[in-house]
Each structure stands twice: as structure tokens, then as C-alpha cells.
């Protein structure tokens, strides 16, 4: 990236929208994962789709790597610019273009942050349901197909994206999908770009499906004698046809930390955190009665329902901050994350296997999962100098991925492929499918400038 190229970029966005300072480059050199940082050569802040188009056209002609950047909250190294080059930060493309309240839709720019957008939408009694916890950008959520605590009811980001505006590697601007909820015209390019981690194009606009804010709800906490009992309860709640808006599994180790760090008084046992929405108080109470019956069948030791709005909000706020709370609690230590998912019928087996394998490896592991959709996370903490323990955390990841795939699951439920999950792509998809993926990449990005080194390696 020479001075002539830098000058050409400045002509597109202006001098104040481009930086080569070490501070800005360092800020865009890593996400919230434990993967090593890699600094870009420059950071640029476009303000329009046309500027993004011009940037990519120039980069493509000069074969300069380009990585899109949202809020940097990803956990698998997805936006780390491993080949240097240029980071395109969408922070100044952060506007709500239009709220289509009567159609339960909104059209936004990619840099708008999830929580900020929902505060505005709440004035119309609406919200965007996929909830990754962190205040991620919408562009980042689309790129990684982000999910979270409400996926069990509303689906992941992919299930809530209707249309996209995308800039391809050569600078061409295309539009995919439409505002019609039913779409059957042509190939589904919207879902192709959703979850592609910026390797096929950069999203500059998204039309999203919204949901009405619930009027009647109840948050529920339930303590169980074992993680296995809690996981089995999850399967039976879903199997009974109940429809929780959120269903989370937290291990006893994490519960103890939450009590200490966030001031809760949970029973120090594996807990399920649930939320149910209803059309009326009566229907909600009927559903909760059945939930309690199922929990008692698995010897739950404490069942608390009917938390008020303030307590409910505090509960989910703490759940959202789990990762930050853990990092603070284990200050000075590094970590290893897993992110596997299986069909809900196999979830109890996956959880039991994870607990036993962690125990056998002698790891300090915290268990938490979006249990309602079969997603399990483990986080193991250890000293950066303790190579032996670090190697055992890698073994845990390998074993959990193999187990999840054997149970008809996936190596990554919501964090994406990024850097850490590339080695499992062949095992999960097979050679023929990977060949098709590589052909798509080569067609849309023949010079391999878009987030090179990710997804397919």
C-alpha cells in the first residue's frame, strides 16, 4: 500500500476519514477473541455506498486486502486483518434509513449498533429480535449470522434479513431480496451473503424483519442438581410444544461468579434462565404451570417465576455481560472458547459429554449455552504461560467439535468460522461442498481481496 494508493483513498473520502496512525491500526487489529492481533496498514471510514464502491474498485485494481469492520465484538477472529491491507470501518454509516412500522420492518445502514437501533424501534413498539448480547453492529451481525438468547423463538440474524445492498469486490453494487416476506424469485443471494463474514461482499444496507414488543412476559429461574438434569429439562420443555422467548443454561461455576460479581442470589447449582411471552396473563400462567411441572419432574431444587420488569431486565443484562464478567473475574488469564450446536434431542448428550471431558482434562471450565436451540459454549481460563493447560483446552475444543458433528450438529453455532473453525470445514461439509464454496468465492472475488484467510483459509 504505497503513498499513491493512500492519496487515491483520500480523494474518495477526504483526509480526515483515513488513518495510518498506530493507534487506529491497533484498535482495528483484533476483536474480542483470544486470536493474535494483526494490524492493517490503514483504516478508512466511508459515509456512503458510493464511497464503499469506489474504495473496493480501487483496492481490487491494486489487489489490496480489504476487511469490513463493525464494532469488533466477534469472538472467532472474524475481522482480524491477517493479511494487513485496509480496514473499512462502517462506524459513520450508522443511520436508520426508514422504519416500515406497519410492515414490521426497518432499513438501516450497517454501522448502526444493535442496542441503539432497538431503543429507537421501541418507540414504535418494535424490536429486532436476534440478540448477541454485545452491542454489535448490524453489519457485523449480518456478516456473522449472529444469534443469541432469543434465537429459540425468533431465529438467528439470517432468519430476520429480508433484503441487502452489497458492494462486490470489483465495486459493483447489487441489491438482493425484497421487502416481501415471501420470496421465491431466483437464487437466494440474501442468505448467501448473510454469514459470509465479509468474504463475498460488503453489506452497505439491510432491511430487517421486526417483532412487536411483548406486553405480557415472565422471567423464570430454575436450579437443578446437575447440568445433565437441566439439559434434559430443556429437551422436554421444547418437546412439550412450549415456546420460550429465551432458554439459557448456566453452570454452577458461572452462577457462583455471577452471585459474587453481579450481586445475584442464585442457588449455586446449574440454572436455567427462561422467559415466556403470552397474549394474556391467563395464557402465560397456564404455560408457566406446565413448565414448572416439567422442571419438578427433573428434581429442580428452586423454581422462581414472575420476576418483574426491573428484575427481568437485570437478569438478562447480567446474562449479556457474562463474557466480560468472566474476563474480569479471571484477570490476567487467557481463555479458550467453544461454540458447538446440535439438534435439541441430542443436547443432553452433548452437555453430559462436555462436562465429563472437561473434568477428565482437569480444566477450569465455565458452561453456558443458548440451550433452547441446542447451542453450548464452554470457556476455559488459564495462565498465558501455562502451555500444557492451553494444549488441553485445544483438546477439549477438538473433542467437542467431533462430538457435535457425530450428533448431527455443527462446529460453530453462532460465532462463525473466522480463524479458529476453518480446520473443521472439511469434516463438517465434505470436499464437494467446499469445492462449490471455493468456486463461489473465486467468482465473486477473483483476486481474493475480501477478508482473505477467513472461512475457507
pTM of the complete model: 0.94
Architecture per CATH, 330-420: 2-Layer Sandwich (3.30)
Q: What integer pLDDT is reported at residue 262 of this predicted model?
A: 86
pLDDT of residue 237: 95
The secondary element (H helix, E strand) that includes residue 165 is strand 161-167
pLDDT of residue 395: 97
36 vs 65: CA distance, rounded Å: 18
pLDDT in tens, 395-415: 999 999 999 999 999 999 999
CATH code of domain 216-323: 3.30.70.2190
Under CATH, which architecture does the 96-212 domain have? 2-Layer Sandwich (3.30)
Same fold, 216-323 and 330-420: yes
What mean pLDDT, rounded, does the chain reach? 95
Q: Which residue has the higher pLDDT, 263 or 441?
A: 441
The pLDDT > 70 percentage for the chain reads 100
Q: What is the dihedral of CA 143, 148, 153, 156, to 10 degrees?
A: 10
Band the pLDDT of 312: cuts 50, 70, 90.
Answer: confident
* Domain spans, the chain: 3-89, 96-212, 216-323, 330-420
**Res. 62 pLDDT band, cuts 50 70 90:** very high
Of the pLDDT bands very low, low, confident and very high (cuts 50, 70, 90), residue 437 is very high
- For residue 307, pLDDT over 80 is answered with no
- Residue 260's contacts (CB-CB under 8 Å, 6 or more residues apart) are 329
Q: Is 147 helix (H, G, I), strand (E, B) or coil?
A: coil
The residues near 27 (Cβ < 8 Å, ≥ 6 apart) are 43, 72
155 Rama sector, left if φ>0, alpha if ψ -120 to 50, beta otherwise: left
- On whether the CB atoms of residues 274 and 150 are closer than 8 A, the answer is no
Q: Is the pLDDT of residue 308 over 80?
A: no
What CATH number was assigned to the domain covering residues 3-89?
3.30.43.10
Please compute the mean of the pLDDT values over residues 213-231 and round it to a whole number. 93
Strands 271-278 and 246-250: antiparallel
Amino acid at each position: 500500500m504505497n503513498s499513491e494508493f493512500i492519496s487515491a483513498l483520500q480523494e474518495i473520502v477526504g483526509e480526515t476519514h483515513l488513518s495510518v496512525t498506530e493507534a487506529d491500526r491497533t484498535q482495528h487489529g483484533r476483536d474480542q477473541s483470544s486470536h493474535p492481533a494483526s494490524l492493517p496498514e490503514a483504516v478508512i471510514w466511508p459515509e456512503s455506498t458510493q464511497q464503499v464502491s469506489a474504495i473496493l474498485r480501487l483496492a481490487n485494481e491494486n489487489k489490496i486486502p480489504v476487511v469490513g469492520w463493525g464494532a469488533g465484538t466477534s469472538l472467532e477472529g472474524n475481522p482480524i486483518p491477517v493479511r494487513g491491507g485496509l480496514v473499512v470501518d462502517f462506524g459513520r454509516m450508522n443511520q436508520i434509513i426508514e422504519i416500515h412500522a406497519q410492515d414490521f420492518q426497518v432499513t438501516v445502514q450497517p454501522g448502526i449498533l444493535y442496542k441503539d437501533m432497538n431503543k429507537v424501534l421501541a418507540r414504535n413498539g418494535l424490536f429486532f429480535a436476534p440478540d448477541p448480547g454485545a452491542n454489535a453492529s448490524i453489519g457485523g451481525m449480518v456478516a456473522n449470522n449472529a444469534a443469541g438468547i432469543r434465537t429459540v423463538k425468533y431465529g438467528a440474524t439470517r432468519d430476520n434479513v429480508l433484503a441487502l445492498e452489497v458492494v462486490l469486490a470489483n465495486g459493483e453494487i447489487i441489491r438482493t431480496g425484497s421487502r416481501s416476506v415471501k420470496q421465491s424469485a431466483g437464487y437466494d443471494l440474501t442468505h448467501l451473503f448473510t454469514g459470509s463474514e465479509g468474504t463475498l461482499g460488503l453489506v452497505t444496507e439491510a432491511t430487517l424483519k421486526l417483532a412487536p414488543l411483548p406486553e405480557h412476559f415472565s422471567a423464570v429461574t430454575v436450579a437443578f442438581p446437575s447440568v445433565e438434569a437441566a439439559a434434559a429439562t430443556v429437551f422436554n420443555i421444547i418437546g412439550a410444544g412450549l415456546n420460550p422467548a429465551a432458554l439459557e443454561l448456566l453452570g454452577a461455576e458461572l452462577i457462583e461468579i455471577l452471585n459474587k460479581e453481579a450481586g445475584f442470589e442464585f442457588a449455586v447449582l446449574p440454572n436455567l434462565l427462561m422467559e415466556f411471552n403470552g397474549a394474556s396473563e391467563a395464557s402465560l400462567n397456564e404455560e408457566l404451570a406446565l413448565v414448572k411441572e416439567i422442571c419438578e419432574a427433573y428434581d429442580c431444587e428452586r423454581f422462581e417465576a414472575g420476576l418483574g420488569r426491573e428484575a427481568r431486565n437485570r437478569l438478562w443484562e447480567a446474562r449479556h455481560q457474562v463474557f466480560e464478567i468472566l474476563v474480569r473475574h479471571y484477570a490476567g488469564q487467557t481463555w479458550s472458547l467453544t461454540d458447538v450446536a446440535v439438534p435439541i434431542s441430542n443436547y443432553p448428550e452433548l452437555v453430559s459429554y462436555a462436562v465429563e471431558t472437561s473434568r477428565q482434562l482437569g480444566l477450569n471450565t465455565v458452561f453456558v449455552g443458548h440451550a433452547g436451540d441446542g447451542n453450548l459454549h464452554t470457556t476455559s481460563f488459564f495462565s498465558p504461560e501455562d502451555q500444557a493447560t492451553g494444549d488441553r483446552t485445544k483438546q477439549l475444543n477438538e473433542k467437542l467439535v467431533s462430538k457435535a458433528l457425530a450428533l448431527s450438529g455443527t462446529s460453530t453455532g453462532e460465532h462463525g468460522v473466522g480463524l479458529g473453525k476453518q480446520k473443521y470445514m472439511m469434516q463438517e461439509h465434505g470436499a464437494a461442498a467446499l469445492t462449490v464454496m471455493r468456486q463461489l468465492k473465486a467468482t465473486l472475488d477473483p483476486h481474493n481481496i475480501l477478508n482473505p484467510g477467513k472461512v475457507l483459509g
